[in-house]
């Protein structure tokens, strides 16, 4: 009963009806959502007051995000409608809008979409009547990954204010970096970037630090995967050279602050972005991030369904 009272209070404090970008969320709303995820992480499973259906439309490969959403949906008692892009009418030329509108007509109550097109959701939000949760759009945004990163940092330090956070690696092609840069700065952190300069934009160069500077400065080292599939030009440096020049090596880890932590959105290229032995070291919060992903996605799903349906929890 206490959990439901807390959830009801948090529900009334949250506003966005879709989950598209981090820019749509105010600082107060972000903290309320993180509090809601914390409550859900401590609770037994809530039960829906009515039968509701979720569909996960993933047009790009995904392990963690897709399965994390499925776990979150099942934890909330939602029925998950199956969808596989390779065997759907998309292969016959059906548009994204027609696919989503069809699912809405059949009875879906919420859709989670990952798509290679940036801001694919712009063509949907005024035409459909069910909430969209963005599971990643091209090199654009990844708000649910950002929320789970924020929850992990907040659990570790209790605040974002004054923290030095370095986002390192393939910045230009990373929707994780694009989502986190803006929101972490807005929450009071000092955000820096590191990695190959050809993967930076001019606007980010004032934040640039070398990897050797980064490891001594950072409270949080947020390493990024190399997005080979989004590169117009292949890397010049091979994996071993990249690791030595821009990776978090075992030698660099020894120079990190005593209480600093390592994060990575995964999948991980071991011994490229990060040394194999550091993936599960004492500083690593990589698997904690994955665990938090389920609670954050439960919070976001229940929030958008509450907002659109007037409450899914009994």
Annotated binding residues for L-aspartate, written as ranges, equal: 92, 175, 225
Asked whether the beta carbons of 107 and 53 are under 8 A apart, the reply is: yes
- As a whole number of angstroms, the distance between CA 122 and CA 117 comes to 11
For residue 31, count CB atoms less than 10 angstroms from its CB and return exposed for 0-12, middle for 13-18, buried for 19 or more.
Answer: middle
Name which of 297, 310, 8, 249 is nearest 145 in CA terms: 297
**To 10 degrees, what angle do helices 286-309 and 2-13 make?**
80
Name which of 190, 124, 199, 143 is nearest 168 in CA terms: 199
Binding region: 64-65, 92, 114, 142, 145, 175, 225, 266-267
Structure tokens at 182: 């803006």
Binding region for carbamoyl phosphate: 64-65, 114, 142, 145, 266-267
Alpha carbon 29 to its chain centroid, in Å, reads: 16
Name which of 229, 59, 32 is nearest 150 in CA terms: 32
Name which of 175, 180, 147, 142 is nearest 163 in CA terms: 180
Residues 6+ apart with CB under 8 A from 166: 191, 192, 193, 194, 209, 214, 217, 218, 220, 221, 222
Asked whether the beta carbons of 215 and 250 are under 8 A apart, the reply is: no
Name which of 147, 130, 115, 138 is nearest 22 in CA terms: 147
């Amino acid at each position: 009963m206490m959990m439901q009272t807390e959830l009801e209070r948090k529900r009334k404090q949250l506003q966005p009806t879709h989950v598209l970008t981090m820019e749509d969320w105010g600082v107060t709303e972000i903290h309320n959502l993180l509090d809601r995820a914390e409550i859900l992480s401590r609770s037994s499973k809530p039960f829906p007051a009515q039968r509701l259906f979720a569909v996960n439309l993933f047009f790009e490969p995904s392990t963690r995000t897709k399965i994390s959403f499925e776990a979150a949906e099942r934890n909330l008692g939602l029925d998950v409608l199956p969808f596989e892009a390779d065997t759907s009418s998309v292969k016959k030329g059906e548009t994204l809008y027609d696919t989503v509108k069809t699912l809405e007509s059949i009875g879906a109550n919420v859709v989670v979409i990952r798509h290679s097109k940036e801001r694919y959701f712009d063509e949907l939000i005024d035409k459909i009547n069910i909430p969209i949760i963005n599971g990643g759009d091209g090199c654009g945004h990844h708000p649910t990954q950002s929320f789970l990163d924020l929850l992990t940092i907040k659990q570790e330090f209790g605040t974002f204010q004054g923290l030095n956070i370095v986002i390192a690696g393939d910045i230009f092609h990373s929707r994780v970096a694009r989502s986190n840069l803006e929101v972490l700065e807005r929450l009071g952190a000092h955000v820096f970037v590191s990695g190959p300069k050809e993967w930076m934009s001019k606007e980010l160069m004032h934040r640039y630090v070398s990897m050797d500077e980064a490891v001594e400065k950072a409270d949080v080292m947020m390493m990024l995967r190399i997005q080979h599939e989004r590169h117009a030009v292949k890397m010049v440096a091979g994996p071993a050279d990249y690791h030595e020049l821009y990776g978090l090596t075992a030698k660099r880890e020894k120079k990190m602050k005593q209480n600093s932590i390592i994060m990575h959105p995964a999948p991980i290229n071991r011994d490229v972005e990060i040394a194999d032995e550091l993936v599960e070291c004492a500083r690593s919060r990589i698997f904690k991030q994955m665990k938090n992903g389920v609670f954050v996605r439960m919070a976001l799903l229940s929030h958008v369904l509450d907002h659109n349906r007037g409450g899914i929890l009994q």
